Amino acid sequence: MSNDTGGIDKPTPKAWFHVPEHGENSNVETRLASLEGYLTPNSRFFVRSHNPTPRIDASEWRLRIHGDGLSRALELDYAALRAMPQVAVTRAIECAGNARAFFAERYGQQAGGAQWHTGAIGVAEWSGVRLRDVLERAGITEAARDVLPVGLDEKGFARPLPVAKAMADDTLIALTMNGEQLPPDHGFPARLVVSGWLGAASIKWLGEIRVSTQALHTHWNTRDYTLAGPDYPAQPPADGIPITTMPVMSVIELDWNAELPAGEHTLRGRAFSGEGRVCRVEYAVNDAPWRDAHLETPNIPGAWVRWAFRWQATPGPHVVRIRATDENGHVQPESVPWNDHGCLYNAVIAHPVRVG
Ligand SMILES: Nc1nc2c(c(=O)[nH]1)N[C@H]1C(S)=C(S)[C@@H](COP(=O)(O)O)O[C@H]1N2
Ligand SMILES: [Mo]
């Protein structure tokens, strides 16, 4: 292993990944400067796991679907899922804690958790079975309220979602990622993909789905992955507001404190907004006024859009700022109020660049 990432199965070379400070050893963020095409290759996709990657034998594996919101319990094996109609979607998965490190910069105090910069996001083409198709096969009833997918990793990571989101067209039990069998680190043999929601909704190594007529609560929608702190009301039993969709945000394909030669450069990056679509990206270098960056195609809702601008770089230190706006008029703010878990940091970031 080239980094201290012993819980992860795939190689994590420094050319492709950063290891965030104070992370567990099953966390790596994508080095955005290493991205090339629209999709994040599986080999470079960030990994955020609360437990080491489990080794699961697909031939022994079963998905158990049960609960009082169903007419019948169901057990599906890998072959049965593969035999059902397969659907493909291109969607982002972004950790709710992406960019958490910037709370420390702004408030002089670290929010608890891995100190991610902006690389805890990736976009892939996922294919598999609609969760809705499975729930309908189990005879989901009118009274069903919450759906709890449970992971097979050591401590059984599990976070509920409401029936409406579970039944959405693009909520998948994914079996493939960018045309390959799901890699072990990303949830083999099956993971949920919950479009536009925080990454923690997209349960990996799925083993069980419980459908309840009651509101469901786990550690992961009450004590963590909530907006909690002085500016946020508690929503008992949660210590704050349980996080659902991800806000508008942009990232730049440059390392922190990147060094560039003087001369003309094309600076590139990506912008995204939960379930929606980004329609404008602006940039400002140092104190210059905001100007529009060029948006490329494709621009898939729930995934991201690539942006670019030309920059005549003169020697010295510079600061590059990027600001995205989505189709609903949401703009990246100048600041984000403190929250104890350091989630949803989507403020404009002053990115330092040194030109030699
Ligand atoms: N079973 C299980 N699913 C999980 C997790 C986990 O620790 N265990 N981590 C979640 C979190 S917090 C995120 S951000 C995404 C990360 O997905 P990735 O590792 O494929 O990038 O997976 C989610 N699904
Ligand atoms: Mo996450």
Q: Is the CB of 194 under 6 A from ligand 1?
A: no
Q: Which atom of ligand 1 is nearest to the CA of 95?
A: 14
- Using CA atoms of 201, 206, 207, 208 in order, give the dihedral in degrees to the nearest 10: 30
For position 2, what pLDDT does the model report?
41
Please tell me the residue having the least CA distance from ligand 1 atom 5.
49
Q: Please state the domain extents for the chain.
A: 49-242, 249-355
- Contact residues for 129 (Cβ-Cβ < 8 A; gap 6+): 81, 84, 85, 86, 87, 172, 173, 175
Q: By alpha-carbon position, which residue is closest to atom 10 of ligand 1?
A: 200
How far is ligand 1, taken at its centre, from the CA of residue 318, in Å? 35
Cα 313 to averaged position of ligand 1 atoms, centre (Å): 39
| Ligand 1 atom at minimal distance to the Cα of residue 206 | 1
Give the C-alpha separation, 227 to 238, whole Å: 10
pLDDT of residue 23: 80
The CB of 151 under 6 Å from ligand 1? The reply is yes
* Cα separation, 291 vs 312, whole angstroms: 14
Number of the ligand closest to the Cα of 93: 1
- Tell me the C-alpha distance between 254 and 263, whole Å: 16
Give start and end residues of each alpha helix (H) in 46-152: 78-83, 101-107, 131-137
pLDDT over 70 percentage in the chain: 99
What superfamily does domain 49-242 belong to in CATH?
A: Oxidoreductase, molybdopterin-binding domain (3.90.420.10)
CA distances from 181 to 28, 43, 126, 176, 177 (A): 21, 13, 10, 4, 6
Q: What residues have CB less than 8 Å from 335, skipping those under 6 apart?
A: 106, 347
- Residue 260 φ then ψ, to 5°: -125, 150
**Counting atoms of ligand 1 from 1, which one is nearest the CA of 94?**
14
* Cβ 29 under 6 angstroms from ligand 1: no
How far is the C-alpha of 99 from the C-alpha of 343, rounded, in Å? 8
Residue 17 Cβ < 6 Å to ligand 1: no
Ligand at shortest distance from the CA of 343: 2
For the entire predicted model, the pTM comes to 0.97
Q: If you take atom 21 of ligand 1, which residue's CA is the nearest one?
A: 47
Give me the pLDDT at residue 4, please: 67
Q: How far is the CA of 277 from the centre of ligand 1 (A)?
A: 23
Q: What is the pLDDT along the chain (356 residues), one digit of tens a residue?
A: 345 677 999 999 999 999 999 887 799 999 999 999 999 999 999 999 999 999 999 999 999 999 999 999 999 999 999 999 999 999 999 999 999 999 999 999 999 999 999 999 999 999 999 999 999 999 999 999 999 999 999 989 999 999 999 999 999 999 999 999 999 999 999 999 999 999 999 999 999 999 999 999 999 999 999 999 999 999 999 999 999 999 999 999 999 999 999 999 999 999 999 999 999 999 999 999 999 999 999 999 999 999 999 999 999 999 999 999 999 999 999 999 999 999 999 999 999 999 99
Phi, psi of 299 (to 5 degrees): -135, 85
Which atom, in ligand 1's list, is nearest to the CA of 192?
24
pLDDT in tens, 268-311: 999 999 999 999 999 999 999 999 999 999 999 999 999 999 99
Domain 249-355, CATH: 2.60.40.650
